[in-house]
Amino acid sequence: MKILKIFIILFISIGFSHLKSNEKNNELKSKILKNIRCLICQGQSVYDSESEFAFSIKLIVDQKINEGLEEDQIYEFLKEKYGDWVIYDPELNKNTFILWLLPLLLFLSGGAIMIKKLRFKN
Amino acid sequence: MKNNFNLFIIIIFLIFCFIIFYKGLNNPNTYKPKISNKKDIPIFKAKDFNSNVYLDSEKIFEENTFYIVNIWASWCVPCRIEHPLLMELNKNKLVKLIGLNYRDNLNNAKKFINEFGNPYSQIIIDNNGTLSVEFGAYGVPETFIIDKNKKIIRKIIGPINKEIVEEIKLIIK
């Protein structure tokens, strides 16, 4: 009877840990898929798309997660195949620095103009 | 003087915006990913179309020759359009054609080959499209030219045409 109880507890705890890891993987998968651009759709992420391409990417991401790859490694894999454009969140490099720096420059120059105007008024 | 400077800045800004939008409008709406030149072929295992036996990529690309990997499917209309050109390319002894059957029904794919002819020296099956992703493809039809060093040197998105066939012939010469 005691052995049976231990067995049941073990079975339940293994089941729960398996469910939890599945849940974690699903969350990671959704996060990654929402950050991947569907290259044959207009403005849709792979997560939202039902295209053949999106279907294949969903399977590949699933496969890579199960292989134990980290989020960044999966992005690197996709970038190597399709270029930086496949990722919605572009990293700072020589091709994207204008994209990152322009808003900052506009913000700073706008701020400088405002300060100058306010000082002039005072 | 100050007003003139402000006007100058506004005009420069408007010209800048105009150039950006004008260039944007002229760009084609379809995205064609840039691939780095001379990418290695992926390492994979795939099922053979005829024997159903799993083959290693090394075995598929073992000969010291140019290869053309063509992604096709029986349900793909542009694939029917490019098929006669693939049959023509098949006559060239300097290149080997590998067909990658993309997310297809095997019976329909076999009917397609029986009806239109088989230009491929080998056909491998990509049931779920993941193998095509390994190649960096995003649809069907798509064609990759692989040189003798087993590097992908050219990627053609969409059906091939006569100009592309001529270009391929020049590359493999």
Domain that includes residue B59, residue range:
39-172
Do A81 and A33 reside in the same domain of the chain? Answer: yes
Query: A115 at the B interface (CB within 8 A)?
Result: no
Do A8 and A48 reside in the same domain of the chain? Answer: yes
Do A87 and A101 reside in the same domain of the chain? Answer: no
Query: A74 at the B interface (CB within 8 A)?
Result: no
Chain A positions in Cβ-Cβ contact with residue B139 (cut-off 8 Å): 40, 52-53
| Cα atoms in the 13 Å half-sphere on the side-chain side of B154 | 18
The pair of three-digit structure tokens given for residue A19, joined into one six-digit string: 């469910």
Q: Which residues, in sequence order, are CB contacts of A17 under 8 Å at separation 6+?
A: none
- Residue B136 in domain: yes
Reply yes or no on whether the pLDDT at B61 is more than 90: yes
What confidence tier does B106 reach under pLDDT thresholds 50, 70, 90? Answer: very high
Query: Could A63 and B103 be called an inter-chain contact, meaning their C-beta atoms sit closer than 8 Å?
Result: no
Do A82 and A104 reside in the same domain of the chain? Answer: no
pLDDT digit string, tens, across residues B68-77 = 999 999 999 9
pLDDT digit string, tens, across residues B72-102 = 999 999 999 999 999 999 998 899 999 999 9
What confidence tier does A13 reach under pLDDT thresholds 50, 70, 90? Answer: low
Do A84 and A107 reside in the same domain of the chain? Answer: no
- Residue B10 in domain: no
Do A68 and A104 reside in the same domain of the chain? Answer: no
Q: Read off the pTM.
A: 0.74
- Residue B3 in domain: no
Reply yes or no on whether the pLDDT at B112 is more than 90: yes
Domain that includes residue A115, residue range:
92-122
Query: A56 at the B interface (CB within 8 A)?
Result: yes
Work out the mean pLDDT of chain A and round it to a whole number: 85
Reply yes or no on whether the pLDDT at A21 is more than 70: no
pLDDT reported for residue A56: 93
Of the candidates A40, A63, A82, the beta carbon closest to that of B139 is on: A40
Do A54 and A105 reside in the same domain of the chain? Answer: no
What is the CATH classification number for the domain harbouring B122? 3.40.30.10
Query: Could B128 and A59 be called an inter-chain contact, meaning their C-beta atoms sit closer than 8 Å?
Result: yes
User: Total structural domains in chain A?
Assistant: 2
Tell me the C-alpha distance between B62 and B40, whole Å. Answer: 14
Of the candidate ranges A45-49, A95-99, B149-153, the one whose mean pLDDT is the lowest: A95-99
- Would you call B20 helix, strand, or coil by DSSP? helix
Chain B positions in Cβ-Cβ contact with residue A59 (cut-off 8 Å): 128-130
Of the candidates B31, B136, B140, the beta carbon closest to that of A81 is on: B136
Q: Which residues, in sequence order, are CB contacts of B104 under 8 Å at separation 6+?
A: B73, B74, B75, B125
In terms of Cα–Cα distance, which of B134, B48, B135 is closest to A64?
B134
Chain A positions in Cβ-Cβ contact with residue B136 (cut-off 8 Å): 81-82
User: Total structural domains in chain B?
Assistant: 1
- Residue B32 in domain: no
pLDDT reported for residue A5: 76
Query: A54 at the B interface (CB within 8 A)?
Result: no
A109 versus A3: the higher-pLDDT residue is A109
Counts for chain B of helices (H) and strands (E), in that order: 6, 8
Q: Which residues, in sequence order, are CB contacts of A39 under 8 Å at separation 6+?
A: A53, A82, A85, A86, B31, B33, B138
Do A78 and A99 reside in the same domain of the chain? Answer: no
Torsion of CA B67, B71, B75, B76, to 10 degrees: -100
pLDDT reported for residue B26: 74
Do A59 and A101 reside in the same domain of the chain? Answer: no
Q: What is the DSSP letter of A36?
A: B
Tell me the C-alpha distance between A67 and A70, whole Å. Answer: 9
Is residue B128 packed enough to be buried (19+ CB in 10 Å), middle (13-18) or exposed (0-12)?
middle
Name the minimum distance, in Å, from the CA of B149 to any CA of chain A.
19
Question: What's the average model confidence in pLDDT over A31-57?
Answer: 90
CB pairs A-B closer than 8 Å: 40
Q: Which residues, in sequence order, are CB contacts of A69 under 8 Å at separation 6+?
A: A77
pLDDT reported for residue B32: 58
**How far lies A44's CA from each of A33, A49, B101, in Å?**
11, 6, 26
Do A122 and A66 reside in the same domain of the chain? Answer: no
Do A99 and A81 reside in the same domain of the chain? Answer: no
What confidence tier does B21 reach under pLDDT thresholds 50, 70, 90? Answer: confident
Do A18 and A40 reside in the same domain of the chain? Answer: yes
Reply yes or no on whether the pLDDT at B33 is more than 80: no
Of the candidates A40, A56, A85, the beta carbon closest to that of B133 is on: A56
